[in-house]
Structures are given as C-alpha cells and as structure tokens.
Amino acid sequence: MRRLKFACSLMALVISLGSLGSASNASAQSKDSLYKRLGGYDALAKVTDKFIVRLASDPKLGRFFVGASDNSKGRIRQLVLDQLCAATGGPCVYIGRDMKTAHKGLGITEDDWTISVNHLVAVLTEFKVPKKEQGELAAALTDLKKDIVEKP
Ligand code: HEM
C-alpha cells in the first residue's frame, strides 16, 4: 500500500513537472539563444561549411587560402564553427587563437571584409534564416571586424 502511495505521488510530481514545462514553453521560446534559433550545432556546421567553401573559392579572397592543406582548411572550419557556436550562446568553447593574432599580417581589407560578410549573408539566406537572426549574427561578427581588418 505504501509503495502504491509512493508511486502515485511520484506520478503526480512527474505530471505537474511536465505541465510546468509546457506552461513555460512560450516564454522560453522568446528567450531562446541565437544559437538555438539558428537551428543549433548541425545548422551552424552547414552554414560554416558553405561559408568556408565560398571564401576559399572567391576570386578575390581565394588568395588567403592558397597553399592551405585540406587539413588546415578543416581546422579553420572547425574553429570558425566553435567560435560561431560560442558567440551565439551555444555550448561550445572556442579554443582557437584570438582574432587579432590569427589574422595579423594577412592584410585583410575593408573590401575583403564586405565580400566575406556578403558571402555569409548569402549562405544564411540560402538556409532561410530569418532577417532578425541574420542581423543578430552580423552584429556579433561586426564586433570582431576591428581585429580582422588591417587595411582600408
Ligand atoms: C567573419 C569574420 C571572421 C571570423 C569569425 C573568422 C574566424 C577565424 C578563425 C576562428 C580562425 C582560426 C584561428 C586559429 O587558427 O586559431 C581564422 C583563421 C583564418 N582566417 Fe578568419 N575569420 C573571419 C574573417 C576572415 C576573412 C575576411 C578572411 C580573409 C578573407 C579570413 C581569413 C583567414 C585565414 C587565411 C585564416 C588562417 C590563418 C592561419 O592559420 O595562419 N578570415 N579565422
């Protein structure tokens, strides 16, 4: 009998926790991290893959990646992904070099930056990321610009 009572109270607790979860769903959605709203890790990985391929094959930007082995490009890809994941509120930890150190001496110009951002926007649009989220991601990256762009 005591066991039955215990089982019943356990079930009641589970049910009430369940309804608590769904009641707070609506407000949780509006507070979701950018990472979650972008679709999480797999979605960010797809965006990063397309972004890197576009940068490396762009007629003006390809020069930055000439001579980089597939493995080196894969390393950059993973670090960019980790950084995007961490910067948008995801569970990743960025362990790469800081942006100033990683890009120092490459001579990236304002024009290179604009072309890169346009590639990113094109990929996000291709993946049907809403304008609001696109804007939030662009804002997060704009903070890095001063450390990446070296020339006017
Ligand atoms: C959207 C802004 C950008 C972000 C978030 C970003 C992020 C990164 C990250 C995380 C790395 C790897 C750091 C490491 O090795 O520890 C990296 C490396 C690199 N990035 Fe960027 N980057 C951006 C813009 C650019 C642009 C505009 C270019 C040139 C077109 C560029 C070219 C490179 C190159 C060539 C490397 C390899 C440097 C090396 O290993 O010596 N990046 N970037």
CA torsion sign, 108 to 113 to 115 to 120? positive
Confirm if 74 and 49 have CB atoms less than 8 A apart.
no
- Under the banding of pLDDT at 50, 70 and 90, the label for residue 2 is low
| The pTM of the whole model exceeds 0.75 | yes
Domains of the chain: 2-148 (1.10.490.10)
Output the CA 103–ligand 1 centroid distance in Å. Answer: 6
Confirm if 80 and 72 have CB atoms less than 8 A apart.
no
The arithmetic mean of pLDDT across residues 133-141, rounded, is 94
- The 10 Å Cβ neighbour count of residue 37 is 19
- Under the banding of pLDDT at 50, 70 and 90, the label for residue 29 is low
Among 109, 44, 30, 130, CA closest to 81: 44
Atom of ligand 1 nearest to the CA of 96: 16
How far apart, in whole angstroms, are the C-alpha atoms of residue 152 and residue 142? 16
Output the CA 129–ligand 1 centroid distance in Å. Answer: 23
- CB-defined site of ligand 1, < 6 Å: 55, 61, 64-65, 76, 79-80, 83, 96-97, 102-103, 106, 108, 112-113, 116, 141, 144, 148
Per-residue pLDDT tens over the stretch 4-19: 444 434 334 333 333 3
